[in-house]
Structure 1
Amino acid sequence: MMKITKKIVRNLGLFLVLMMASCDSYLDVNENPNNPEDAPISGLMINSTYESAKNIFRVGDITSNYVQYLASPNPASASDTMEPVSNNNTWFNIYNVMTDLTVLIEKAEEQEANHYKGAAQVLMALNLGMGVDIFGDMPFSESFTFETVTPSYDDDEQLYAMIMDFLDEGINNLQGETTVSMGEDDFIYQGDTTKWIAFANMLKARYMIHAKETSDYSASEVLAAIDNGFQSIDDDAKVAFFEQDINPWADVARDNADLLLGGWISEQFIQALDGTSYPAVDPRLGLMVGTTDDDTFVGTVNGAGRGNAPEQGARSTLVEDQYYTTITSPILIATYSEQKFIEAEAAFEIDKNRSYQAYLAGIRAHMEMLEVPQEEIDTYLADPSVSMGEGAFALEDIFKEKWVALFLHPETWNDARRFDYQYKDMDVPVNLNPDLNGQFIRRLPYPDNEVSRNGQNVPDVTLLDRIFWDE
């Protein structure tokens, strides 16, 4: 990823303050003197690319406990036990970005800035998809006209059709002529439209694989999108951070070091990589999480808390200066590794050899991203429990390795629900919310603020009601 210029870095903080103050989503229908319609498309692109990456973190921060990457150090914590916590900030941040993108699309259309419009449509698909995947039905069709504070909800399956339309239209616009070209105001690809087109195709594959159990699913269409998607880890969609506004996972690690406890690693994740749950010891473990003061890896049981180990350093946590937690580490939006695992799943029933090779390539891509030494990569891939051969290769192998490779990413919760949480040794948390009847959570509740503002339209759902692709 190209370096962000010092000029953009200097201006970003002030710009974000102004933009976030102006983006009131559909809830404010009064005239706003700082309305984002007054912002230039370049400024809207800065904010939209940056805040889209932050939304990946915001959703991942919620879901990482559900998929047992992280665990709370405190017993019976709501984040572990799957209580119906209101996620007002996440809801509003998703809508704030979509509000900016709505304006960006309109302004780019007026100026015939088709590349900006195409990139904005891809980001709209990304943010809308994040929202639908965790909440289900959402207000969209009536949300950005500033004509109502009580917009109706669109059906989740219909919203998925809109997501695919945004991606197709985005690709078309990115392939066409433009009056204005993107540059360093694009924090993801610095205006490289070829990579934007690959990103859009990768997202098409991501959202199509979600719908694998529906009647509209086509494995050949997923593989066609992948053929036009990422070609290597150099194509990964990501936003790097900087010392003025550090990577949010680095902030979690720093807070934990200062005894503001967070980022404790689940026992499930530790044991999946340390040779306990699976035969192979994974060399990525020490590059992703920290050791205890005794230089060992010890996880925390989800829902049970730290038990008799109250001292800092008695459990593994996120620690500073690793790949995911360096101040300038990128937030990964979509990766070549993820795409290879999507390919492996899509090809499994129709081309087993392609599926198996994609599975191995997905592991290698993630290890190379983490800069695992080549000898250790070769040793891990040579283990018969990892390279089991095409005949013994199963879907659960794909889901397990994808779970490792998408560490802290919200996409894993979509996989966990599609896979019915059948990861080896993954049990429901201790002190589980009794309303779940011993089952894993399937969706987030609608935010309290949305219920109070738009209660007549908010669907009546429980935490066990499923998104359409999970039924």
Structure 2
Amino acid sequence: MKKIKILALLFLSLCLGSCEKYLDINQDPSNPQVAEGHVLLPALLQSMVRGEAFDSRYIGQYIQNWHISSAGNTWDRHGYAAGSDAAGEKWRQHYYALGQNLLLQIKDGEEKGKWDYSGVAKAIQAWSWQSTTDYHGEMILKEMFEPNRYIFDYDTQEEIYAEVVRVANNALTDLNRTDGIVSTASLARGDLVYKGDRSKWIKFVYGVLARNAHHLSNKSTYNPDKVIEYVDKSFASNADNFNVPHAGTSSTDANFFGPTRNNMGSYRQSAYIVALLDGTIFKGVKDPRLALTLSPSVDGVYRGVNTTFGDPNSANANTRIPTLWNTVPGVTALTGKYMFQDKIDYPILTYSELQFIKAEALFKKGDRAKALEAYKNGITAHMNYVGVAAKDQTDYLASAAVVNVAADLKLSDIMTQKYIALWGIGCLESWVDMRRYNYSSDVFLGFTLPVTTQLSADNNGKPAQRVRPRYNSEYVWNRNSLDLIGGNNTDYHTYELWFSKK
């Protein structure tokens, strides 16, 4: 009897073991069930670019980086596409593409002592809060990802700005830790931008904090010294730029602005950027960046589209305004140029931008000598980024287009050169600047808004100040909450954001 019991127990244990092994057939060792940071991070970096680039197409029209080749486009008129997800990619990026995936990377990092990975995730999270609220305004913060909820309340932009600082400081804490299993080699497995260099991620976080503090320049609480401190702790040269690489082998891994993806086929360089570079605005001085960033028509003349008017030369192949890829529609084959190539790195934040932020902060502080230095650093950094030859740089910096005496420096000098440096690579930051200064031509030399009759009928004579939240989530599922902030009003996109208010 005893032997029978022993045999029965042995049989049962064998069955349980076999059953356990049988149940393991759904666990593929090549595809871990628990998300790890090095697996998540490449897709997160790609999502940063996707959200920024997708929606820069529309914001680029508001700020006159480029326009549509045909007349009367709604975005050229500071309008929006009702009932459409157009311009809703930043919202999708923040809550869907990054959202829970960042939380998974943070959880994995904190539980396993991979503080570099959790710090990087928090750095991206802080950046996403900042860039998305600057784009949309009110966002869902407190109830984000709350289970079993179908209606979400919006939180104020002031609360979002505070959240950026909180998350950024947490990122710095993690990135400065050396305990656990932190290592350059480990982080480099997923880090396509900085190859595991935590010191550069720390600089990136300070760059986000610099934006956060500086965007509040209209507030009585604005602190230029804090902005300068953040910039000085951030990027030291173009080598620190946050550049996301693209292999460019197909439409799945090519730069969003490149010819392979064909996302920019109907866009043309604006008359405004042409005037800034061809000498029209800057005292007859031709900018050496003109030929490196813009494209001439077949006859060799640089032309651009005036907002809302389209290309008046479209019928003539010799004077037709070329695409951003340096091609003439119907005449030349697709190639690519500057930021509009398949394999180009896409910059999320640059040294030149930060130097212009510093220059403006120093100018506001009253230190024009140091402001002049930062202003010229910004110009030089961008010319190096574009690839301007050394002699051409020297000649341009000595020309009448560039201020060389501190007492002569004006705010418009700083902001207009910053606009040039951000053309095509920093539409959202340029839009922040334009809204801070109410689209002023006194600040942005030569800039003019469309006249009232050219603006969208929904605008009631006002320019765009924000982008409505993503249609397919908020206007389909969350309309009651939108009512509380005026989001269902047709002119909601013209409501001034908190950051630019005095």
Q: Per the shorter chain, which TM-score range?
A: 0.7 to 0.9
CA contact (8 A) 1:428 1:439 kept: no
Query: For each residue in 1:177-210, what CA deviation from the matched residue of structure 2 results, as whole angstroms up to 9, or x when unmatched?
Result: 2424311411221111000001111111111110
Aligned pair 1:82/2:83, yes or no? no
CA contact (8 A) 2:55 2:89 kept: no
Aligned pair 1:205/2:216, yes or no? no
CA contact (8 A) 2:403 2:413 kept: no
Aligned pair 1:452/2:482, yes or no? no
Shift of 1:452: 1.7
Q: Which moved more, 1:68-77 or 1:43-52?
A: 43-52
CA contact (8 A) 2:67 2:269 kept: yes
CA contact (8 A) 2:336 2:342 kept: yes
Q: d(CA) in 2 for partners of 1:144 and 1:300?
A: 43
Amino acid at match of 1:145: E
Written as runs of structure 1 = structure 2, the 5 A alignment for 1:375-390 is 375-390=391-406
Aligned pair 1:179/2:219, yes or no? no
Shift of 1:463: 2.1
Aligned residue in 2 for 1:315: 321
Aligned residue in 2 for 1:261: 265
> What SS class does the counterpart of residue 248 from structure 1 fall into?
coil
Aligned residue in 2 for 1:395: 411
Shift of 1:368: 0.5
Task: Give the one of 266, 276, 279 matched to 1:275.
Answer: 279
Distance 1:284 1:37, change over 3 A: farther
Shift of 1:58: 2.1
> What SS class does the counterpart of residue 195 from structure 2 fall into?
coil
Q: d(CA) in 2 for partners of 1:312 and 1:214?
A: 50
Q: Which moved more, 1:232-241 or 1:77-86?
A: 77-86
CA contact (8 A) 1:37 1:103 kept: no
Q: d(CA) in 2 for partners of 1:78 and 1:346?
A: 35
Shift of 1:46: 1.4
Aligned residue in 1 for 2:19: none
Task: Give the one of 226, 234, 238 matched to 2:239.
Answer: 234
Q: d(CA) in 1 for partners of 2:174 and 2:89?
A: 32
Aligned residue in 2 for 1:299: 304
Task: Give the one of 283, 286, 301 matched to 2:291.
Answer: 286
Query: For each residue in 1:345-367, what CA deviation from the matched residue of structure 2 results, as whole angstroms up to 9, or x when unmatched?
Result: 11113321111100001000000
Written as runs of structure 1 = structure 2, the 5 A alignment for 1:66-465 is 66-85=62-81, 86=84, 87-96=87-96, 97-177=98-178, 178-180=180-182, 181-244=186-249, 245-251=253-259, 255=262, 261-279=265-283, 280-311=285-316, 314-319=320-325, 320-350=335-365, 351-408=367-424, 409=426, 410-422=428-440, 423-429=444-450, 431-449=454-472, 450-458=474-482, 459-461=485-487, 462-465=492-495
> What SS class does the counterpart of residue 247 from structure 1 fall into?
coil
Q: d(CA) in 2 for partners of 1:399 and 1:89?
A: 27
Shift of 1:62: 2.0
Amino acid at match of 1:470: S
- The higher radius of gyration belongs to 2
Q: d(CA) in 2 for partners of 1:58 and 1:65?
A: 13
> What SS class does the counterpart of residue 78 from structure 1 fall into?
coil
CA contact (8 A) 1:140 1:153 kept: yes
Query: For each residue in 1:115-146, what CA deviation from the matched residue of structure 2 results, as whole angstroms up to 9, or x when unmatched?
Result: 11111111001111121011111112211233
Query: For each residue in 1:219-257, what CA deviation from the matched residue of structure 2 results, as whole angstroms up to 9, or x when unmatched?
Result: 1111111121111110001101012311111137x738x
CA contact (8 A) 1:50 1:187 kept: no
Q: Which moved more, 1:360-369 or 1:186-195?
A: 186-195
Distance 1:416 1:238, change over 3 A: same
Distance 1:73 1:173, change over 3 A: same
Q: d(CA) in 2 for partners of 1:125 and 1:282?
A: 36
The sequence identity of aligned pairs, in percent, is 27
Q: d(CA) in 2 for partners of 1:251 and 1:217?
A: 42
Deviating beyond 6 angstroms after TM superposition, the runs of 4 or more aligned structure 1 residues are none
Q: d(CA) in 2 for partners of 1:316 and 1:416?
A: 27
What is the count of residue pairs matched by the alignment? 433
Amino acid at match of 1:288: T
Shift of 1:388: 4.2
Query: For each residue in 1:363-413, what CA deviation from the matched residue of structure 2 results, as whole angstroms up to 9, or x when unmatched?
Result: 000001111011111111101331241111011111100000011222111
Q: d(CA) in 1 for partners of 2:45 and 2:445?
A: 36
Aligned residue in 1 for 2:8: none
Q: d(CA) in 2 for partners of 1:277 and 1:167?
A: 39
Amino acid at match of 1:99: Q
Q: Which moved more, 1:199-208 or 1:36-45?
A: 36-45
Amino acid at match of 2:456: N
Q: d(CA) in 1 for partners of 2:217 and 2:190?
A: 36
> What SS class does the counterpart of residue 431 from structure 2 fall into?
helix
Shift of 1:311: 4.9
Aligned residue in 2 for 1:27: none
Q: d(CA) in 2 for partners of 1:122 and 1:185?
A: 15
Distance 1:193 1:307, change over 3 A: same
Q: Which moved more, 1:297-306 or 1:418-427?
A: 418-427
Shift of 1:110: 1.4
CA contact (8 A) 2:77 2:456 kept: yes
Q: Which moved more, 1:112-121 or 1:55-64?
A: 55-64
Q: d(CA) in 1 for partners of 2:368 and 2:89?
A: 43
Q: Which moved more, 1:161-170 or 1:102-111?
A: 102-111
Shift of 1:37: 8.3
CA contact (8 A) 2:54 2:256 kept: no
Q: d(CA) in 1 for partners of 2:266 and 2:45?
A: 27
Q: d(CA) in 2 for partners of 1:255 and 1:469?
A: 35
TM-score, normalised to structure 2, is 0.82
Shift of 1:317: 2.9
Structure with larger RCO (C-alpha < 8 A, sep 6+): 1
